[in-house]
Every structure is written in structure tokens, then in C-alpha cells.
Structure 1
Amino acid sequence: MNAVHLHRGAIARLELDNPAKLNAFTPDMLSQLETHCAALDADPAVLGVLVTAAPARAFCAGADISAWAGLAPAEFARHWVRDGHRVFDRLARLSKPTIAVIGGHAFGGGLELTAACDIRVMAPEARLGLPESSVGIVPGWSGTQRLLRLVPEPVVKEMALFGRHLTAERAREIGFVAEVAADPLAAAEDIAARLAHTSPRATEIAKYLIHAAAGEDRAAMIEALGGGMIAASADKAEGVAAFAEKRKPEFPGR
């Protein structure tokens, strides 16, 4: 049974639905999230994406310990850590704007999931944390990498080294959270509604530009921008036509 649901629409919703485990990630959930991300990227009707979770005491408690506790060290590194990275990278690099709706605590992989979104809206009582050291491991899905580009280094150290939690208000003050709201879903929907009045192409390209500057998959972002420019050129049209007609191209230079 799926534990990550895709609700389609102009503003689509990715919903974690594993409340018995506080929406903690299992391997199947990672696979489902990856599949949904591919579907969203391929759907031109989608303007934006909200990342939400089924009601529970936590937005996402991280990774289901029972899913990784028995793995051999090589399997833990080769599959669990790298698979999670690949899936969260897929979410981070969606061509659509994304908003994490943090209605409860987001710890470990849950915090890393929110960091893979473009912006975040958070309930006032929710908390953020990196509790991995309390179970003898370290953050594995970019909690010491992507998160460090979004949160000051000392704050990441507070969470990862000392186990301190980050409150919603402090997260807003340091810029990690865009808004703190009693109803974070309604607040996120209000923000996302503005996408109906913006150019989908412009927001996509703006996201690529920002990611290239920030170091989020810089090589792919730069080549995507260059590819888009050349794909619209008369030279590209002539090159493709000449190849199909088995003749030498006569490039117009525009």
C-alpha cells in the first residue's frame, strides 16, 4: 500500500502517509516519492507542489529505524544513504516551485526533506532537529550538506552535535522558514495560489538560475539553461533538418 500520495491539480500535493510511524521514511516511501517527482516534472498542468504529511505528532520523524538498523555497513552506505540522497535530490531539482508544509516536528530525514523544498511554512508548535547522534549515526540525506547552504553553520551544529531543536520562530528569523502560521497548509496554499498569475516558464528558469548560483546541481542547471537557448535557435532547426535530409547544414547563425 502506498504511503506517499500524489494529489494532482494545478497546485499538486505530495503527502507522506505513514502516521503509525510518525510518517518516517521506509524504502518503499523513497521509491514512491521518486516516482511521483518524475510524474510531476512531466505534467505541464502542474504549477507548483505542496509537500505535506498525514496528521500525526510529527510531520516526519525521519527514517524508519527498523528499515536500516539491520543493514550491513556497506549496504547502509551504498543503498540506504545514497538512495535517500538520490530521491531528495530529485525533489530539490523539480522544475516546479515547491513548498514544505510543516505541521508537526520534522526531525532527521524529515528536516532534510523540507530542506529539499524551495520554501517552508511551519506551525508555531513544530520543531526541527537532527537527532541522529542519539542513535549512533550521522545525518545521511544532506543534513550536513544542503541544509548548510540554508541554515547558518552554528545552528546546524547545535542540532547535529548537541541535539538542540530549532523552534518555528527562530527558523523564521534565520530565513529557513518563510512563514509561521497556525494553519500552515492554508498559508502555503495562499502563497502557491500566486503561481496562477506568474509565468510557469519564468519561474522554472528563475529556479534554475538560483540553483546554479547556490551550487544545487550547478553543472546540470547551467547546461539546462544553455540547452534551452540553443534549442530555440534557427541553427538547431537547420542542424536537425540537415541530418534528417542527409545533407550538409547551412547554419544561419541565429
Structure 2
Amino acid sequence: MGVTLLTGASTGIGRSLARRLAARGEAMALVARRGELLDSLVIEIEQAGGQALALPCDVTDRDALARALASAEAELGPVTRLVANAGGGEPTFVDGFDSAAFEAVIQLNLIGVANSVAAVLPGMLARGDGHLVATGSLAGRRGLPSAAAYSAAKGGLANLMDSLRIDLRGRGVAVTLLMPGFVRKHEPKPGRGKTGRRRSKPFRVDLEYATARMEKAILARRRQLVFPLSLAVAIGLTRLLPFGLDARLLAGRGRRRPAAAQPPRTRL
């Protein structure tokens, strides 16, 4: 097998994908900001018989990412696959619209991927073989309520990967875009509803189901994976509505600004 550089590896989708790819025999170079979580993942992978290296790093820092790549290749060998998974962000509210917060979301979800690609692509082109994978989102299919920054970033990411796929045709480097919808990162917590659980978002899928589908798409070097189909169809249908009706339908369905100063993190 080869060497995979996976960003956003410390929690959620990234952590689950790292375990799955390591079990397939991939040597894992794991990038995230929280070193202690990476260290625990390395131990978990090694105890299962795999090989992994923790590389604490912020993907928005291109120089730090280049150093991380150099460390990975010195210890594990040439990186044959990039899984650019780091992402996330805060809701965007029109009251008190914050351009600095908007920029931070773009930096993480779009520029962070570009930095990751810039680090690994020269080596892949020199060898005539490689695989670029990015975790996008169905939020990139259209602007969604209270998600202006995130939708813009993921829409830009989708176009970035499309352009790379076109320009890399015949060069030996495959390109895969993963576009999940709402993914449940943890078990539902008890709530106040009659069922004892918080209200679940429509179309939400479980983490391991999501990463199992993503793993298969990565190993098959698929051009694109979009799921769940029900949510993709629902988003697509909103684009076919008469002008103005889509806004009326979606208005008020986004996140509410919480009373606390810091809104909870969200990801689609």
C-alpha cells in the first residue's frame, strides 16, 4: 500500500477515515491542530497493527504544512494520497455580519485545501502517480440559510477539485470529491422531548455509515461521492423553484443566533 496524508484527523470524519485506511494497510500521516488527540489516534492505529505518524499542524499555515510533509516523507516514504478533510466553521448571521469570521471559514475550508494540494502535488506529478481527495459538502451545492461562509467555501472547493481533475487528466493523478450532507459525529444526547432525545436533523446519517461510504469511494478513486441522495435531491429541487420562492421556503430555517457570545460550531 501507500502513504496517506490526512488532514483534520483528530476527530469525527477524519479520525474514522484514518482508522479505516490504516486497517487497509495505508501508512497514515495525520495532521490536525490538537496534538494530544493525534497521539491517541496513533496509539490506537498502532495497537491495531497499523502505522501512523502524528503531525500537529494548522492547514492554513502553508510553511508548517510543508514541514509536516517533509517529516512524513522522511519517516514513511512518499505521500501517494492526500485526504484534505480539515474543515468546519461558525454560522453566518446577517445581523452583525462579520467579514473576519467569513474569511476564517474560507481560509480553513478552501485555502487549507489549496495549501495541502500545493504541498503534495509536485511529488505526485514527478512520480506520475497520486490521488487527491477532498471532503466537501452538499452545502456547496447552493447557498443555505445561516451558512453563507461555509456554503461559499465548499462551493469554491467543488470548483477547485473540478478544475484540478480537468488539468490533471492524463498526468497520473486522480481527483476525488466527497460531498456528504449532515453527519452525526456522536451518539445523540438525552433531551427534553417525549423520546428522551434531542430533535434530529432531517437526512442526518451516522458517522460510521458515512465514512464507510467515503472509504469505498476513496479506494475506488471515484470522481465524486454525493450522499445521502435524499438530501442531494432536496437541495437540487430548491434550485428549480420559481425565482423568490426558494428564499421564501428556506427563510428562517437556518441556525438561530444563541444568547451566548460564541455560537456552537456547525458543519454540513
**Which structure is higher in RCO with an 8 Å CA cutoff and minimum separation 6?**
2
Q: TM tier, shorter chain?
A: under 0.3
Larger radius of gyration: 1
TM-score by length of 2: 0.27
Normalized per residue, the structure richer in helix is 1
TM-score (ref. length: structure 1)? 0.28
